[in-house]
Structure 1
Amino acid sequence: MKALIAGAGRLGTQIAQVLAAARNDVTLVDIDDDRIAELEGRVPARLMAGDACDPAFLERAGALTADLVIATTGHDEDNLVTSLLAKRHFAVPKVVARVNDTENTWLFDQRWGVDTAVPAATPLISLIEEATGATDTVALLRLSKAGVDAIETVITPQSRAAGHTLTGIALPAGTVVATVVRDGRPTVPAPEMRLRPGDELLVVSHAATEQEIRAAFQ
C-alpha cells in the first residue's frame, strides 16, 4: 500500500513508523523544513518539505498513485483542504483526517473528501486500523482493543539500555517493543537483540505511563 501522510508531528511520525514497519510505501510531508530535516534518518519513510494544501506539491509527493492519504496536521482547515484535494483532485481511494477541534467535526465528511474523521484523542492503533481497513497490518502492535499508547524513545550513548539485550530490560507490565528503527530500517526485534546508540524504539503499552517506559530505557 502507498500511504501519504500530511503532518510530521508526533502523531504523523508514529503512523509513518508503524505503516513502514508493516512494509508499506510511506511518504511523510510537512510544511516545516526544519521538522523534516530533524527527522532525516530517524523515520523509515520518504520525507518531503512542502505545503500539502498545494495540489502541485501533493502531486510531487505521490498523491496520484496513493492508496491512502492521512491528514494529521494540528490545523483543521489544512486537514480539510488536503482531504478535499486528495479525494476530488487525485481520486485517492481512502482519505482519513484528524479533527483537532471537536466543534469542527461536522465539517469532516465526504463533502470535504473525508472518508474517516478521527478525533485527536483516538489511540494510535485504532487510527491506523481505521485508515488501513485491515487489522492484520497492525496485529503485532495490538495489545488490547482500546487504550493502547505508542511511545517513541531513542537510545543514546548515555542510555542505561545501550549495550543490553531486550530480555535484559525490565519493562512495565503490558508493554512490548514493537519496532526498532536502526540505520533507517524498521525491524521486529527478537528478544536477544542488543540495543545500540541511535536505535529508535516504538513501544506500545496499555498500562504504563510514558515516564515509566522512558525510565526503563534511559
Structure 2
Amino acid sequence: MKIIILGAGRVGESVAESLVSEHNDITVIDQDPAKLRLLEERLDLRGVVGNGIQPSVLAEAGARDADMLIACAALDESNLVCCKVAHDSFQVPTTIARLRSSELIEGEELLGKTGFAVDRVICPEASVTRYIHQLISYPEALQVLEFAEGRASLIAVRATAGSVLANHAIGEFRDLIPQAEMRVVAVYRHDAELETTPQTRILPGDEVFVLADTRKIHAVLSALHAVDRPVQRLMIAGGGRVGLRLARSLVGQCEVKIIERDRKRCDYLASQLPSQVLILHGDVADEDLLLEENVGEMDMFIALTSDDEDNIMSAMLAKRLGARRVLSLINRRAYADMMQGSTIDIAISPSQAVIGELLTVVRRGDVAAVHSLRRGAAEALEGVARGDAKTSRLVGRRVQDLRLPAGVRIGAIVRGSDEASEVLMPHHDTRIESDDHVILFLPSKRLVREVEKLFQVSATFFG
C-alpha cells in the first residue's frame, strides 16, 4: 500500500515505523529536513521537504497514485487542509487526520466529503485517556484491550505468588476456575515468549496474555494476581490536555488531585473542573509536596506531563513514597521499554495508543480491530469471517483444519450480536460460521499479511 504521512513528529514517526515494518511504500512530508534525514537513515522510506497543504508538495510525494494519506502534523488546521487538498485535487481514496479538538467529530458533515474530506479521525489524547480508564477499572492488569464491541477482552497480567493459578499448568486452569473460561494466548518470562501448551506452567512474575468474555475479566484477573482494591484515590501529575480529559472523566468516580507547575494553567483547570477536584500548584517531583498531599495513600499515581524525565522521576518518587500503583506517560520508546515493569508499573506510549486505530484502517480483508501488544512487537487482530465454505478460507472449517501461519493462535470466537452473543474458547473441532468475529494472537508483525488473507473472500462472494 502506498501511504503518505504528513508530519515527522513523535506520532508521525511511530506510525511510519509501524507501517514500514509491514512493507508498505511510505513517504513522509515535513518542513524540517533534519528530521526527515534521520528518518530516512533509520527506516526504509522517502522524505519530502515542504508544506503538506501545498498541492505541489503532495504531488512530489506521490499523491496522484497514493492509497492513503495520514495527516498527523502538530496543528489541526494543517491536517484538515491537507486531507481536503489530497481528496479534491488528487482523489486519494482514504484520508486520516490527527485532530486534538473535541468539537470535530468523525462522521459529521463538516468532516465529510463535502467538507474537509476526512474519513477517519485519530486523537492521541482521547486514545490515551480511554487506555488509562481501562487500567483504572482493572488495576491488576498491565493492558486491557476490547474486541467485538466490548464483548471479549484481552488482558495482560503479571502472575503473583499465592494467586490461584500461579505454579499451575495451563491445562489445569479450567478445573481451578470453572466459572471463568479463558484462553491463554501468550506467556512471556524475562521478555522471552514461552510455548503455550497445556503443560506450560505459569510462574510468579510471568506476563500472561489471556482472552475471555469481558464479563469474566475480574474473575480471571483475581485468579492470576492478588486482588487489588478499586481505585478510590488518584493523583495526576500534569494538568495538560490528557490530565484535564482524565480528571474530567473521573469526576464522581474517585477522589482526584492534580499537580500542575504552571500557575495560569492551574487557574484554567480550576475553571474547567468541579470544586471536588483539588488543583495543586507545584513541581510534580517535589518530595515535600507529595508527602504533604499524602501520595503514599494514593491507589494510583499517573504522571502525564509533556516531559518524559519529569514523568519518570515523579512516578519513581511516588512509588518510593508508598503510592500503590504508578503509571507514567513516556513518549520515547527507548525510555518506555526500559521503565516498563521496573519501579514504574506501567509505561504508557501515546503513539502506541493510536497505532491500533490506524492499523485497523490499513489492514486488508474484513478486519474489525487491531491492537499492538508489548509496545508493537506483537499484535491481536479481530476479523469477521464472511462468505461460505466455497468463498472463504475460514467459514465452514474446523479450527484444526485452518492453515494458520506458524505461531498464530486463535484466542476466541464471538458469535452473534448484542446480548445474545456468545464468547467461545475454540477447540480443535470448533467450526467457524459466517459472521463470526475471530480474534487471533500474532507473535510477530511479519505475519500480518498472511493473516489478512484469511479474511478475504473470493471474487464470487457478493454478500
TM-score, length-normalised on structure 2? 0.30
Query: Displacement of 1:134 after TM fit?
Result: 3.6
Tell me the equivalent position of 1:41.
41
Task: Point out the more displaced range, 85-94 or 128-137.
Answer: 128-137
How far apart, in 1, do the equivalents of 2:358 and 2:366 lie? 11
Partner residue of 1:124 out of 354, 369, 377: 354
How far apart, in 2, do the equivalents of 1:109 and 1:149 lie? 33
Tell me the equivalent position of 2:96.
96
Q: Residues 22 and 61 from structure 1, CA distance in 2 versus in 1: closer, same or farther, beyond 3 angstroms?
A: same
The one-character-per-residue Cα deviations of 1:150-193 (angstroms, maximum 9, x if unpaired) are 59xxxxxxxxxxxxxxxxxxxxxxxx9967xxxxxxx89xxxxx
- SS of aligned partner of 2:12: helix
Tell me the equivalent position of 1:61.
61
How far apart, in 2, do the equivalents of 1:108 and 1:140 lie? 24
Q: Residues 140 and 130 from structure 1, CA distance in 2 versus in 1: closer, same or farther, beyond 3 angstroms?
A: closer
How far apart, in 1, do the equivalents of 2:21 and 2:2 lie? 13
Aligned residue pairs total: 152
Compare CA radii of gyration and give the structure with the larger one. Answer: 2
Tell me the equivalent position of 1:82.
82
Structure 2 stretches of 5 or more lacking a match?
128-352, 378-441, 448-463
Task: Point out the more displaced range, 80-89 or 106-115.
Answer: 106-115
Asked if 1 retains the 8 angstrom alpha-carbon contact of 2:360 and 2:370, the reply is: no
Query: Displacement of 1:15 after TM fit?
Result: 1.0
Asked if 2 retains the 8 angstrom alpha-carbon contact of 1:79 and 1:97, the reply is: yes
- SS of aligned partner of 2:41: coil
Tell me the equivalent position of 1:52.
52
Asked if 1 retains the 8 angstrom alpha-carbon contact of 2:359 and 2:370, the reply is: no
- SS of aligned partner of 1:22: coil
Query: Displacement of 1:42 after TM fit?
Result: 1.3
Query: Displacement of 1:59 after TM fit?
Result: 0.3
Q: Residues 128 and 38 from structure 1, CA distance in 2 versus in 1: closer, same or farther, beyond 3 angstroms?
A: same
- SS of aligned partner of 1:17: helix
Asked if 2 retains the 8 angstrom alpha-carbon contact of 1:64 and 1:90, the reply is: yes
Tell me the equivalent position of 2:6.
6
How far apart, in 2, do the equivalents of 1:64 and 1:87 lie? 10
Asked if 2 retains the 8 angstrom alpha-carbon contact of 1:99 and 1:108, the reply is: no
How far apart, in 2, do the equivalents of 1:103 and 1:150 lie? 30
Asked if 2 retains the 8 angstrom alpha-carbon contact of 1:95 and 1:131, the reply is: no
- SS of aligned partner of 1:40: helix
How far apart, in 1, do the equivalents of 2:366 and 2:28 lie? 22
Asked if 2 retains the 8 angstrom alpha-carbon contact of 1:13 and 1:43, the reply is: no
Q: Residues 177 and 141 from structure 1, CA distance in 2 versus in 1: closer, same or farther, beyond 3 angstroms?
A: farther
The one-character-per-residue Cα deviations of 1:46-66 (angstroms, maximum 9, x if unpaired) are 112111011011001100010
CA RMSD of aligned residues (A): 3.0
- SS of aligned partner of 1:102: coil
Q: Residues 140 and 40 from structure 1, CA distance in 2 versus in 1: closer, same or farther, beyond 3 angstroms?
A: same
- SS of aligned partner of 2:36: helix
Q: Which has the higher contact order (CA 8 A, sep 6+)?
A: 1
Asked if 2 retains the 8 angstrom alpha-carbon contact of 1:97 and 1:108, the reply is: no
How far apart, in 1, do the equivalents of 2:40 and 2:63 lie? 21
User: Letter of the aligned partner of 1:94 in structure 2?
Assistant: T
Query: Displacement of 1:149 after TM fit?
Result: 4.9
Q: Sequence identity, in percent? A: 32
Tell me the equivalent position of 1:16.
16
Structure 1 stretches of 5 or more lacking a match?
152-175, 180-186, 189-218
The one-character-per-residue Cα deviations of 1:87-132 (angstroms, maximum 9, x if unpaired) are 1110000000011222344654431010111122332332222431
Alignment of 1:49-198 (within 5 A): 49-105=49-105, 107-110=110-113, 111-121=115-125, 122=127, 123-134=353-364, 142-143=372-373, 149-150=375-376
How far apart, in 1, do the equivalents of 2:17 and 2:364 lie? 17
How far apart, in 1, do the equivalents of 2:122 and 2:355 lie? 12
Q: Residues 141 and 133 from structure 1, CA distance in 2 versus in 1: closer, same or farther, beyond 3 angstroms?
A: closer
Asked if 1 retains the 8 angstrom alpha-carbon contact of 2:27 and 2:45, the reply is: yes
Query: Displacement of 1:40 after TM fit?
Result: 3.1
- SS of aligned partner of 2:70: strand
- SS of aligned partner of 2:92: coil
User: Letter of the aligned partner of 1:114 in structure 2?
Assistant: V
Asked if 1 retains the 8 angstrom alpha-carbon contact of 2:356 and 2:371, the reply is: no
TM-score, length-normalised on structure 1? 0.60
